[in-house]
């Protein structure tokens, strides 16, 4: 049975309810709230994209400690930024973050802009992020429309069009603009819409009974909130598997059985990913399509035998459109084998080794570098096993 909905055409009323709800029920006391500093706000907005608050809380303070101003961030090496970002995922955000900081220093003398239209011209800042930074830093009256807010508004209006299509998205932006508070309250309103989407109007189980805009929500009246936002195209997930070469070496050249005693001296072979694409600009273990490709790569370096390759349990890694099975193969190598595997590596002191180059790195150094989460987990396990020197 469906319920009659009041006409949802009272923007002022909609905004007032969201603001009042946010003040009483919304999220407060997060480290990026209560500041007008656009740098800190921007950093939180980028980190929060497709990432939960509880995860961002583990990174935000550390990041600000290391890069307290946009100038500190601009002057840092990309490697340092990626190392601190390691584990947050969606690494293009970190690369754009760095590029944006450099643009602020070069184009705005290190003063972070607060005007939405100016913010939008910077790397990695889209229309919604620009609006959020402008609203939180100066109270500018501009609409946000991130993933959560799209869901709230699409449900509230029972929006029948697929927002992945540009014309429909433009129409939803118009809705978002029409619903803005007529004056003042932009900070609480913007935060309120974000909080509603994250905590009440959730993707799977919206808690309509706790929602401040339930009275005129059309999707609620129709009894089918989950039908919105409408999606006419489903994303196809792909499955892929790769073999990881986990080559380890201890400098004393001891037989494999004793190599573990080398402890922190243990070195691991790493490869830098190309700057674009999955894990772009991060260090990873050398990746191969399958075991045969790994064998061929080793054979090409004269290492077909007697490498003692040990297959480790596979690791499942889920990316946005990809279910990735990673199959690590561990091998402890001798000094001559290590030399052969160094072939093609960048110069040891080069700040940005060529993409694809192989480089031996101490385990501790590797763990302080920018690593994708599953590679970090593997190396941390090796570091634990290696233990301290006797
Ligand atoms: S009433 Fe339910 S569906 Fe409508 S906006 Fe609120 S939580 Fe979402």
Q: What's the CATH code of the domain at 320?
A: 3.90.79.10
206, 227, 248 - which closes a domain = 227
Same domain flag for 120 and 258: no
181, 205, 227 - which closes a domain = 227
Residues 205-248: tens digit of each pLDDT = 999 999 999 999 999 999 999 999 998 877 778 999 999 999 98
pLDDT at 326 over 50: yes
Residue 2 lies in a domain: no
Task: Give start and end residues of each alpha helix (H) in 26-165.
Answer: 38-48, 53-66, 70-75, 78-85, 92-108, 116-119, 127-138, 147-156
Residue 349 lies in a domain: yes
Q: Are 294 and 303 in contact (CB under 8 A)?
A: no
Burial of residue 139, with CB atoms counted within 10 A of its CB: 0-12 exposed, 13-18 middle, 19 or more buried: middle
Residue 6 lies in a domain: no
Q: Are 331 and 246 in contact (CB under 8 A)?
A: yes
Q: Which residue has the higher pLDDT, 104 or 344?
A: 104
Taking residues 315-342, report their average pLDDT.
Answer: 86
- The predicted pLDDT at position 306 comes to 58
Same domain flag for 207 and 268: no
Same domain flag for 90 and 131: yes
User: Which atom from ligand 1 is nearest to the alpha carbon of 228?
Assistant: 3
- The predicted pLDDT at position 1 comes to 38
Same domain flag for 223 and 288: no
Q: Quote the CA–CA distance of 112 and 118 in Å, as a whole number.
A: 10
pLDDT at 367 over 60: yes
Q: Which residue minimizes the CA distance to atom 8 of ligand 1?
A: 201
Same domain flag for 269 and 206: no
Same domain flag for 334 and 365: yes
Taking residues 182-208, report their average pLDDT.
Answer: 95
- The predicted pLDDT at position 216 comes to 94
227, 258, 293 - which closes a domain = 227
Q: How many domains does the chain have?
A: 2
Task: Give start and end residues of each alpha helix (H) in the chain.
Answer: 11-25, 38-48, 53-66, 70-75, 78-85, 92-108, 116-119, 127-138, 147-156, 166-178, 186-195, 218-222, 291-300, 335-342, 363-367, 373-386
- The predicted pLDDT at position 87 comes to 85
Q: Is 81 in the pocket of ligand 1 (CB under 6 A)?
A: no
Same domain flag for 322 and 173: no
Residues 34-80: tens digit of each pLDDT = 899 999 999 999 999 989 899 999 999 999 999 999 999 999 999 89
Same domain flag for 305 and 243: yes
Residue 1 lies in a domain: no
pLDDT at 339 over 90: no
- The predicted pLDDT at position 253 comes to 53
Burial of residue 379, with CB atoms counted within 10 A of its CB: 0-12 exposed, 13-18 middle, 19 or more buried: buried
pLDDT band, residue 11 (cuts 50/70/90): low
- The predicted pLDDT at position 295 comes to 83
pLDDT at 199 over 90: yes
Same domain flag for 106 and 196: yes
Q: Are 144 and 126 in contact (CB under 8 A)?
A: no
Residues 286-304: tens digit of each pLDDT = 999 988 888 888 877 777 6
Q: Is 18 in the pocket of ligand 1 (CB under 6 A)?
A: no
Structure tokens that stand for 264 in this block? 């922190």
Please tell me the distance between residue 55's alpha carbon and the centre of ligand 1 in angstroms: 26
pLDDT at 147 over 60: yes
Structure tokens that stand for 60 in this block? 């935000």
pLDDT at 390 over 50: no
Taking residues 163-172, report their average pLDDT.
Answer: 94
- The predicted pLDDT at position 264 comes to 57
Residue 5 lies in a domain: no
Structure tokens that stand for 33 in this block? 């709230």
Return the CATH number at 31. 1.10.340.30
Q: Are 3 and 208 in contact (CB under 8 A)?
A: no
Same domain flag for 63 and 209: yes
3-state secondary structure 303-317: CCCCCCCEECCCEEE
- The predicted pLDDT at position 345 comes to 39
Strand pairing report for 315-319 and 358-362:
unpaired
Strand pairing report for 238-249 and 267-272:
antiparallel
- The predicted pLDDT at position 297 comes to 81
**Backbone angle region of 343, left / alpha / beta, with phi > 0 → left and psi within -120 to 50 → alpha:** beta
Same domain flag for 184 and 287: no
- To test the pocket of ligand 1, the residue of 206, 212, 228 to mutate (highest count of ligand atoms within 8 Å of its CB) is 206
Please tell me the distance between residue 224's alpha carbon and the centre of ligand 1 in angstroms: 10
Q: Quote the CA–CA distance of 57 and 132 in Å, as a whole number.
A: 19
Taking residues 117-146, report their average pLDDT.
Answer: 97
pLDDT at 188 over 90: yes
Taking residues 116-122, report their average pLDDT.
Answer: 97
Structure tokens that stand for 328 in this block? 């690590």
pLDDT at 262 over 80: no
Please tell me the distance between residue 115's alpha carbon and the centre of ligand 1 in angstroms: 31
pLDDT band, residue 266 (cuts 50/70/90): confident
Q: Quote the CA–CA distance of 109 and 245 in Å, as a whole number.
A: 45
Residue 191 lies in a domain: yes
- To test the pocket of ligand 1, the residue of 200, 215, 223, 230 to mutate (highest count of ligand atoms within 8 Å of its CB) is 200
Residue 200 lies in a domain: yes
Q: Quote the CA–CA distance of 46 and 360 in Å, as a whole number.
A: 33
Which structural domain, as residue segments, surrounds residue 49? 11-227
- The predicted pLDDT at position 22 comes to 97
Told to judge if 291 belongs to the known catalytic residues of this protein, a careful annotator would answer no
Q: Which residue has the higher pLDDT, 359 or 64?
A: 64
Residue 295 lies in a domain: yes
Same domain flag for 88 and 164: yes
Please tell me the distance between residue 219's alpha carbon and the centre of ligand 1 in angstroms: 7
pLDDT band, residue 387 (cuts 50/70/90): low
pLDDT at 350 over 50: no
Catalytic residue selected from 45, 187, 337, 382: 45
Taking residues 274-285, report their average pLDDT.
Answer: 86
């Amino acid at each position: 049975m469906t319920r009659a909905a009041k006409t949802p055409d009272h923007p002022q009323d909609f905004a007032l309810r969201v603001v009042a709800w946010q003040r009483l029920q919304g999220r407060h006391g997060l480290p990026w709230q209560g500041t007008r500093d656009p740098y800190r706000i921007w950093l939180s907005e980028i980190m929060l994209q497709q990432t939960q608050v509880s995860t961002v809380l583990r990174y935000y303070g550390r990041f600000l400690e290391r890069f307290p101003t946009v100038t500190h961030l601009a002057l840092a090496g990309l490697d340092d930024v990626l190392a601190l970002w390691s584990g947050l995922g969606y690494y293009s955000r970190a690369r754009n973050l760095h590029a944006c900081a450099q643009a602020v220093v070069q184009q705005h003398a290190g003063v972070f802009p607060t005007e939405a239209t100016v913010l939008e011209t910077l790397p990695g800042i889209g229309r919604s992020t620009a609006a959020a930074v402008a609203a939180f830093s100066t109270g500018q009256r501009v609409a946000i429309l991130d993933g959560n807010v799209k869901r709230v508004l699409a449900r509230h209006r029972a929006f029948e069009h697929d927002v992945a299509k540009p014309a429909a998205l433009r129409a939803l932006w118009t809705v978002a603009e029409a619903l803005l508070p007529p004056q003042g309250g932009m900070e609480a309103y913007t935060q309120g819409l974000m909080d509603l989407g994250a905590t009440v109007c959730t993707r799977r189980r919206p808690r309509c009974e706790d929602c401040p805009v339930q009275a005129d929500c059309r999707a609620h009246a129709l009894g089918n909130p989950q039908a919105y936002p409408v999606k006419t195209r489903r994303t196809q997930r792909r499955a892929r598997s790769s073999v990881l070469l986990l080559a380890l070496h201890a400098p004393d050249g001891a037989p494999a059985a004793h190599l573990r005693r080398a402890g922190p001296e243990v070195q691991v072979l790493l490869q830098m990913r190309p700057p674009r694409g999955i894990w772009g600009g991060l260090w990873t273990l050398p990746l191969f399509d399958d075991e045969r490709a790994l064998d061929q790569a080793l054979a090409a370096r004269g290492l077909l035998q007697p490498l003692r390759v040990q297959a480790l349990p596979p690791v499942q890694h889920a990316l946005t459109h990809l279910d990735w099975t990673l199959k690590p193969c561990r091998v402890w190598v001798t000094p001559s084998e290590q030399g052969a595997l160094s072939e093609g590596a960048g110069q040891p002191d080069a700040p940005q080794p060529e993409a694809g180059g192989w480089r031996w790195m101490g385990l501790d150094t590797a763990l302080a570098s920018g690593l994708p989460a599953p590679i970090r987990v593997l190396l941390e396990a090796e570091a634990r096993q290696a233990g301290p020197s006797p």
